[in-house]
Amino acid sequence: SARNPEDERSVLADLTTMAAEIEHSVARTTFRFGAARAYHSLVMQRIAELREQRISGLPTFHEFMERRLLPAMNTCVTMARRQEDLSSRVARNSQLLRTRVEVELERQNQELLAQMNRRAKLQLHLQETVEGLSVVAITYYASQLVQYLAKGVKHYIEPLTPEGITAVAIPVIAALVAIGTHRMRKHLAAAEGHS
């Protein structure tokens, strides 16, 4: 009995080879067994046409041939039946094993799809985390630029201070970067959906 999918595939290959060999043997011998049955029938018919008379103490030609030929014919019939039975059993076992192999392959495919799904979800979470960190980093550097510019023009913006302008700019910058990132992701998803 096969213990793992590789063993089952190997046994299935062996069974398939065996089934082909059995079918080849059945095809070869079916003709011969059929010819033997026809020959037996013909011999027995010809003997019956002789209308032989019994001679005391001697078997008739019909009895002699029946005693010699009938066991051989019974052997032919039995062998043909055994070959057909063996062929049927090998075919049935091959089909059962093929089904097991297919079920195992389907289970493995389902498992692979589940792993790919988990990886895709993990990659999406990672991407969302990176996007969130990107929003924070861009907001930080953009607010530093706003503060740098505000310090350069602080004489023109009095009574506002560069720190106040920066504080007001941070949520605006963050919102604009988040909206821009969201639109970019949506645009990329739409472009990916069309390809």
The pLDDT of residue 151 is: 92
pTM of the model: 0.53
| CA–CA dist 34, 39 (Å, integer) | 9
Q: At what angle do helices 5-50 and 61-152 cross, to 10 degrees?
A: 160
Structure tokens at 3: 């213990």
pLDDT at 104: 85
What local confidence, expressed as pLDDT, does residue 28 receive? 84
Whether residue 73 contacts residue 36, with contact meaning beta carbons closer than 8 Å, is answered with: yes
What pLDDT does 2 receive?
Answer: 54
Q: What pLDDT, on a 0 to 100 scale, did the predictor assign at position 165?
A: 92
Intervals of CATH 1.10.287 along the chain: 5-117
Are 136 and 162 in contact by the 8 Å Cβ rule? The answer is no
Cβ burial, residue 135 (10 Å; 0-12/13-18/19+): buried
For the chain, 195 residues long, the average pLDDT of each consecutive 10-residue run is 72 85 86 89 90 87 88 90 89 85 89 95 90 92 94 88 93 94 87 77
Among 80, 86, 81, CA closest to 18: 86
What is the C-alpha to C-alpha distance for residues 6 and 60, in angstroms, rounded to an integer?
63
Class of domain 5-117: mainly alpha
Farthest CA pair distance, the chain:
150
* Phi, psi dihedral angles at 2 (to 5 degrees): -75, 140
